[in-house]
Homo-oligomer: A and B are copies of this chain.
Amino acid sequence: MNDVAAAAGVALKTVSRVVNDEPGVNPATAEKVKAAIDALGFRRNDGARTLRRGHTASIGVVVRDLADPFYSTLTRAVEEVALTHGFLVFTGSSDESPSRQRELALAFCARRVDGVVIVPVGEDHLYLQPEIAAGVAAVFVDRPAANLEADAVLVDNVGGVRKGIEHLLAHGHRRIAFLGDAPDIFTAGERVRGYREALTAAGHLVDPSLISMASPTRAAVRAALERMLDGPSPATALFTGNSRLTVAVLRDLAEQQQEHGRRRRPALVGFDDFEVADLLSPGVTVIAQDPARIGRAAAELLFRRMDGKNREIVRRELPTRLIVRGSGEMPPP
């Protein structure tokens, strides 16, 4: 900018005025400055601007895994809202590692992002307290922060699963198994709670041997299904706690069928919709979340928080939707 000022024969401040379209510059002067800008290929350094102005017009997003369609769709929606406000977005994936999440969030804060959207991992988010105190807006999404009062956008996990289990009960199933993700994940805990509540509310007992809570590895899913489907009193229906489990289960069922030809296929309802769930046969009945809506809600909450007014902590809970496609309507044998 200094070089431009020298080339145009004006003061630094005049260049600044032209670059930022501030009023009150003689058109002729402005032309001179613009000519110098073009000649020198000048581009304003937004980093310097940011330093002086106090806010960076950027936010950070930390999700579990950007390659997972759920999180990428969510992130895309955040990005969309941010762009509307002229903000840029840093992204990062925690891979369920608390330390990696912490590093990413703090790195974003060190760059002085104005806000962060975080899918929290682990037991401790107090490290964000100083950042929030220093003025960084924070919204947690998909899960609440462990030990921090902060805005959060969640999904009605319990209600969603209840809806799914009630659907299976209505179709005559009594032996309904539940496969959830690792139990330390908030949503996994909420969803298995919905399972228990639905059974209990309908007057049925909860059989612990029909519950499996583990990361969706091939081996874990196979072991769980063998236990649940090959015993003397097998499950006639399955509820899977997220789409990765749904897909893992479908894959295992297909493999078993191909290898051994045995086994009747159990009814299935899965949490989370996924691409081409409608094209499988039977189509997969799901309890769908709306990741774009979740992301949008989180971003809007973030920008509301960033206006600086002293607001109460908000905790939104978005609804789910039952999508009937066939797999959840098969009757028990």
Contacts and interface: CB of A to CB of B under 8 A. Distances in A.
Given A41-B134, A72-B72, A131-B43, A275 B278 contact: no
Contact of A88 (B76, B107, B133, B280): B107
Stoichiometry, copies per complex: 2
Contact of A41 (B51, B89, B130): B130
A67 interface: yes
Interface string A68-110: 1100110110010001000011111100000000000001111
B79 A45 contact: no
Contacts of A130: 41, 43
A223 interface: no
Given A90-B88, A110-B43, A247-B275, A67 B56 contact: no
Interface residues of A, number: 50
A38 B49 CA distance: 28
A289 to B, nearest CB: 14
A233 interface: no
A201 interface: no
Contacts of A44: 110
B79 A66 contact: yes
Contacts of A28: none
B47 A56 contact: yes
A281 interface: yes
A195 to B, nearest CB: 24
Contacts of A275: 69, 247, 274-276
Interface in A123-161: 130-131, 133-134
A230 interface: no
A89 B111 CA distance: 12
A251 interface: yes
A2 interface: no
Nearest to A106: B43
Contact of A111 (B47, B67, B93, B278): B47
Interface in A271-306: 274-276, 278-281, 292
A76 B69 contact: no
A166 interface: no
B109 A43 contact: yes
A254 interface: yes
A250 B275 CA distance: 12
A258 to B, nearest CB: 11
B93 A76 contact: yes
Given A43-B110, A247-B275, A275-B247, A66 B76 contact: yes
A197 interface: no
A260 to B, nearest CB: 18
Contacts of A79: 66, 91-93
